[in-house]
Amino acid sequence: MLSIYTKSGGKNGKHCWIGEVPTITAVSYTPVQLFEYMISRHFRAIPQALNSLQISQFTHLPSTSFLCLLDEAPTTLVGSHNLRISLTDGNRFDSLQGKAQNIVLALKNLNSRAAQEAENEEED
């Protein structure tokens, strides 16, 4: 984690850097480097879309998007900035990734059913 920002001074307070927070709800956002999933437990530091420029991708991650921490520090692959996560963390990633796909499929089904029902109502 590069830094943590929090809002101070109430409703119109400014976001400022702090070294640590007592709870996750105290965090406004934190800048993080994004890694792109490759295969198995490997993640690339430079996303494929930015490969020709050889630049990493960063974002401000709001506290509502924090999901979990790794159990073990990832290892850097020799000769690159790519990472390999532990088997335990890889299993957790696979589980979460599978659930995300289920949510996307459920939303597609809901949307297709709603569209089909709208067509049936127009025909009647």
What tens-digit pLDDT sequence spans the chain (124 residues)? 456 667 666 677 776 777 777 777 677 777 788 888 888 888 888 878 887 888 888 878 777 677 677 889 889 878 788 889 999 999 988 888 878 888 778 878 887 877 777 777 777 6
pLDDT at 86: 92
Give the pLDDT confidence score for residue 1 in this predicted structure.
Answer: 43
89, 41 Cβ separation under 8 angstroms: yes
Full domain range(s) for residue 59: 1-85
Q: Do both 10 and 67 map to the same domain?
A: yes
Same-domain status, 33 and 93: no
- State how far the alpha carbon of 45 is from the alpha carbons of 84, 103, 105, 109, in Å: 11, 27, 29, 34
Residues 106 and 93 in one domain: yes
Same domain assignment for residues 76 and 54 = yes
Number of compact structural domains in the chain: 2
Query: Quick one: 16 and 36 in the same domain?
Result: yes
Q: Sign (positive/negative) of CA torsion 108, 39, 57, 13?
A: positive
Residues 6+ apart with CB under 8 A from 2: 30, 31, 32, 33
Residue 54: its pLDDT value, please?
Answer: 82
Residue 105 and residue 60 share a domain? no
**Whether 104 and 73 share a structural domain:** no
Q: What's the pLDDT at 87? A: 92
Residues 45 and 81 in one domain: yes
pTM assigned to the model:
0.58
User: 92 with 51, same domain?
Assistant: no
Could you tell me if 17 and 67 lie in one domain? Answer: yes
Element housing 93 (H / E): helix 87-123
111 in the same domain as 71: no
Residues 78 and 106 in one domain: no
